[in-house]
């Protein structure tokens, strides 16, 4: 008993530690999860899931995969899909089907898998995933449109690919029952009908209960988790192996509803999914036999090469033809498609079920999926930046400024930063705070900038600096602490704390970011000074009008904010600002001058 508890604790600790280290190092989490599972399983023998959990292993993995696929359905927002470009919609629809067909053909004729296994593997490998793609995009800093194409494809292909994989998997299971053609069609149709109707009805039932206030807030998220597990179990009793598709449809139904608690549900599922994905990945990696990789034959290597050099390029180039996307961006997308943890988690469950149905070569699915994941993550991770430079798709110009906190002062600052040819975005959780910025045509983000939704919707590759300018000093410090590892501690700033705040109530000096115009004051003072006539001004220094002359003209009340020098950004707030030179464009804030 104690040993099993210790194994469970070890799995959780390894998974969360790998996720945290990946966050700190700005690496795809899958790399460290792979390492953790290999070390704990095949290398040291600390984990042997088959022996440790026995007959419980498969149902535990199945329940975890059900929750993961429900989360994928919850993330599939039809409104977001409609708002994306034609190229993205083609990639996740026509491109997914082409990748599925070509991948299945390669698996059958090159890897020499049976048709049932080949079809399932082809469907599994359609899934890419934002957990791998987004960290790569942050590191590479691509031009906005090229990055947007890859980012949105990863976000939408995750649930779409998972749904396709479940459909194919359940179709294969029904086909393996060796029924008469009419019975086969009846069972396939029945499974699809039950999944569509049952998933929709159950999802709408939960939504209706939430809207009518039948469920208290503290029970909503736990009820959803229990409902998913119960739906999966009951669906399996009604129609064998229909549970995964049913819970996926259920997630799509809830994710596209208009309920006030949807944001809280998505935040809760973030926590659950991170734990489950980490645990499943560590467990499945620990079950691997290194001999399976040593036994990879030339046929398997041919299959891997086909996935890299034939299947992905064919799917992307054909589906995005005549979409208006330049050839360079299509070529980049045709190469970059790292697979993630969802593919591995799904393959582990499907392989066991297919093997139990008498499909002998299904046991190769996990090893082949792991091989594709490792190769694509490594190869695409190391080649993305060089290829982007070769195709002239790397981001040019200085990194932009993300300003959190809408106000007249922050809007005026954003206008001037934009006028200095720097990308800028203003974010706030209050729609009214962004009204003036919208009128001025400034890029905005309405919502919680720290949420997973913002991580998916805001292209952080464009930004290298943060100014936390809300009226809440604690929240400003939280923003700087959260973005510090990503942007660099020296590139996150926060305005002065509210006037009159007692020192004993303030945060520790180790938290938060660099001081930004603290000499002027906090939120209220900055906005009142602007209302009283203070303004932002841009000045280009010359040999005759240098830093000393600028200081004299600004007077004791004027303050320098930042400067542009040959594409560089110099921040001039703080105790030791850099020296300025002729040619620098300086932005300052101070009283209006006659």
Exposed / middle / buried, residue 397 (Cβ in 10 Å: 0-12, 13-18, 19+): exposed
Angstrom CA distances, 373 to 124, 265, 280, stand at 11, 30, 15
Largest CA distance in the chain: 92
Residues 2-9, mean pLDDT to the nearest whole number: 84
Length of the chain: 594
d(CA 457, CA 453): 6
Output the pLDDT for position 502: 46
Give the fold, CATH level 3, of 400-590.
Answer: Rossmann fold (3.40.50)
- Beta bridge pairs of residue 534: none
Q: Strand, helix or coil at 539?
A: strand
Tell whether the torsion through CA atoms of 183, 189, 191 and 194 is positive or negative.
negative
> Domain spans of the chain?
53-256+284-390, 400-590
| CA–CA gap between residue 288 and residue 382 (Å, rounded) | 26
Q: Which of 232-241, 468-477, 489-498 has the lowest mean pLDDT?
A: 232-241
> Residues 47, 11: contact at Cβ < 8 Å?
yes
Tell whether the model's pLDDT for residue 308 goes beyond 90. Answer: yes
Spatial neighbors of 122 by CB under 8 A, at least 6 apart, are 99, 100, 101, 102, 103, 104, 105, 106, 107, 168
Over range 303-316, report the average pLDDT: 95
What CA–CA distance (Å, rounded) separates 353 from 364? 13
Same fold yes or no, 53-256+284-390 and 400-590? no
DSSP category for residue 449: T
Share of the chain above pLDDT 90, in %: 26
The CATH code of the domain at 53-256+284-390 is 1.20.1530
Give the model confidence (pLDDT) of 61-118 as tens digits. Answer: 888 888 887 877 787 677 666 656 788 889 888 999 999 999 999 999 999 999 999 9
Token couple for 134 = 């987004």
Rounded to an integer, what distance in angstroms lies between the CA atom of residue 315 and that of residue 297? 26
Per-residue pLDDT at 368 exceeds 80: yes
Residue with tokens 């129609």: 239
Angle CA 385–390–393, to nearest 5: 65
3-state per-residue secondary structure call for 475-517: HHHHHHHHHHHHHCHHHEEEEECCCCCCHHHCCCCCCCCEEEC
- Which residues lie across from 565 on neighbouring strands? 568
Mean pLDDT over all residues of the chain? 83
Mean pLDDT across 34-57: 85
Please check whether residue 493 is in contact with residue 562, taking contact to mean a CB–CB distance below 8 angstroms. no
For the chain, what is the radius of gyration of the CA atoms?
Answer: 27
> pLDDT tens, 216-254?
888 888 899 899 999 988 887 776 667 878 888 898 898
> What is the pLDDT at residue 23?
72
Distances (CA, A) of 163 to 23, 142, 224, 226, 250: 28, 30, 19, 21, 12
Sheet-wide strand order for 514-516:
444-446, 424-428, 400-404, 463-468, 492-495, 514-516
pLDDT of residue 504: 47
Alpha carbon of residue 121 to chain centroid: 24
Q: Is residue 110 within 8 Å of 302, Cβ to Cβ?
A: yes
Other residues' Cβ atoms within 10 Å of the Cβ of residue 282: 27
């Amino acid at each position: 008993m104690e040993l099993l508890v210790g194994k469970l604790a070890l799995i959780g600790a390894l998974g969360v530690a790998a996720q945290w280290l990946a966050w700190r190092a700005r690496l795809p989490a899958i790399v460290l999860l792979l390492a953790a599972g290999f070390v704990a399983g095949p290398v040291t023998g600390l984990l042997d899931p088959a022996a440790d959990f026995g007959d419980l292993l498969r149902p535990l993995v199945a329940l975890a995969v059900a929750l993961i696929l429900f989360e994928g359905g919850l993330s599939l927002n039809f409104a977001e899909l409609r708002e994306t470009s034609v190229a993205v919609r083609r990639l996740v629809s026509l491109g997914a089907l082409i990748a599925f067909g070509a991948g299945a053909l390669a698996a059958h004729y090159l890897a020499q898998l049976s048709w049932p296994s080949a079809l399932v593997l082809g469907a599994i490998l359609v899934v890419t995933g934002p957990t791998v793609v987004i960290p790569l995009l942050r590191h590479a800093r691509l031009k906005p449109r090229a990055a947007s194409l890859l980012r949105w494809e990863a976000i939408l292909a995750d649930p779409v690919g998972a749904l396709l994989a479940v459909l194919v998997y359940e179709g294969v299971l029904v086909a393996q029952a060796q029924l008469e053609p009419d019975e086969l069609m009846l069972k396939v149709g029945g499974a699809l009908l039950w999944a569509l109707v049952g998933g929709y009805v159950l999802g709408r039932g939960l939504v209706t209960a939430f809207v009518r206030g039948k469920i208290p807030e503290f029970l909503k998220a736990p009820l959803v988790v229990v409902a998913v597990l119960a739906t999966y179990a009951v669906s399996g009793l009604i129609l064998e192996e229909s549970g995964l598709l049913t819970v996926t449809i259920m997630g799509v139904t809830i994710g596209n509803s208009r309920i006030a608690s949807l944001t809280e549900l998505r935040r809760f599922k973030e926590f659950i999914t991170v734990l489950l994905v980490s645990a499943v990945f560590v467990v499945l990696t620990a079950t691997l036999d290194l001999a399976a990789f040593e036994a990879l034959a030339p046929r398997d290597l041919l299959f891997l090469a086909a996935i890299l050099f034939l299947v992905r390029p064919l799917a992307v180039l054909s589906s995005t033809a005549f979409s208006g996307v330049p050839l360079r961006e299509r070529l980049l997308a045709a190469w970059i498609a790292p697979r993630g943890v969802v593919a591995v988690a799904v393959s582990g469950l499907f392989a066991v079920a297919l093997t139990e149905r008498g499909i002998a070569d299904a046991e190769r699915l996990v090893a082949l999926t792991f091989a594709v994941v490792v190769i694509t993550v490594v190869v695409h991770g190391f080649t993305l930046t060089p290829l982007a430079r070769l195709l002239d798709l790397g981001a040019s110009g200085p990194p932009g400024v993300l300003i959190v906190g809408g106000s007249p002062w922050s809007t005026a600052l954003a206008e001037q930063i934009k006028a200095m040819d720097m990308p800028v975005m203003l974010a706030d959780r209050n729609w009214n705070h962004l009204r003036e910025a919208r009128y001025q045509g400034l890029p905005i983000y309405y919502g919680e900038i720290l949420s997973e939704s913002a991580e998916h919707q805001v292209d952080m590759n464009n930004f290298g600096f943060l100014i936390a300018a809300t009226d809440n000093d604690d929240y400003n410090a939280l923003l700087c602490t959260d973005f510090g590892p990503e942007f660099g501690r020296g590139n996150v700033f926060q305005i002065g704390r509210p006037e009159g705040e007692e020192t004993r109530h303030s945060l520790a000096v180790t938290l938060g970011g660099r001081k930004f115009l603290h000499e002027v004051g906090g939120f209220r003072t900055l906005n009142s000074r602007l209302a009283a006539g203070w303004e932002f001004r841009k000045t280009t220094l010359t040999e005759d009008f240098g830093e000393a002359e600028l200081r004299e003209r600004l007077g004791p009340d004027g303050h320098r904010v930042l400067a542009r020098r040959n594409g560089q950004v110099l921040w001039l707030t703080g105790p030791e600002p850099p020296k300025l030179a002729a040619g620098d464009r300086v932005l300052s804030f101070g009283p209006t001058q006659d």
